Amino acid sequence: MSSTQTVPARRCAATVVRANQRIKIINTYGNQVVDTWVFALPWTAIGTTSSRLEAPLYPAASAASSSSYSTAANRAAARPEFMSMSHCCAKLLKPIPGVGDTLVNQKRAPLVKLIEDTSPGTHDTLIAAAGDSEEGEILAGLQTRMGGRVPDLFKLFRNIPVTQEGEGARRRISFEAPVTKAMYHVVFEALRDVVVVMSACPQDMLEINGKKPVNAHFKVY
């Protein structure tokens, strides 16, 4: 088992999690949101006459895929795979994943499974990352690598309730104080080799981090 690692307040950390390994993300002091991205490490590259397909779109992909499928399909296959919360919500038919749920990428392929959650399950899939401090630099770097797009992320421990008053467009969301306690944690199991990127959310103007960002921690085992 690896030692516990730090996600510094207002900063980011990343780690490789191999297939069948687990990552435990810990809300050490109870009030820290952990913005979380998951990226798939490429499958074994597939050689083609013009390029290499790093992430096959089709289960039966082979060296002949470049001629078997359209150029558009092959380009889609070669794009980086990342956890997509919009696709997760569509698959799960609910806004927040829970224990036992599989989180998928933008191709609807499994990436990780949520196998443990000691919090009340109060997480967020709706709101963007804060985007300042080092997190802004990380987002800018991701934009460059992802062709201008930053994947939507899973905001662990963030309390963003949706009001039940009214219907349709009359409903509202709000930024509320955390409901988590010290040492609450979640555990994900990797279903393939992935990179997990975590940011200890730098937001200090709203209640979501108790207006005081602090360190979070994680462990891969």
Per-residue pLDDT tens over the stretch 121-174: 999 999 887 665 556 666 666 656 655 566 789 999 999 988 777 788 888 888
Alpha carbons 121 and 155: distance in angstroms, whole number: 11
Q: Is the pLDDT of residue 91 over 90?
A: yes
pLDDT in tens, 34-54: 999 999 987 543 333 333 333
Q: What is the largest CA-CA distance in the chain?
A: 58
Closest CA to 219 of 191, 183, 192: 183
Q: When comparing pLDDT for 44 and 85, which is higher? A: 85
With 0.85 as the threshold, say if the pTM is over it: no
Q: Check residue 151 and give its pLDDT.
A: 79
Tokens 């509320």 belong to which residue?
A: 176
Do 32 and 199 form a contact (C-beta atoms < 8 A)?
no
**C-alpha distance from residue 1 to each of 21, 202, 214 (Å):** 10, 29, 25
First to last CA, the chain: 5
Query: For the CA atoms of the chain, what is the radius of gyration?
Result: 18
Instruction: State the Cα–Cα distance between residues 180 and 103, nearest whole angstrom.
Output: 22
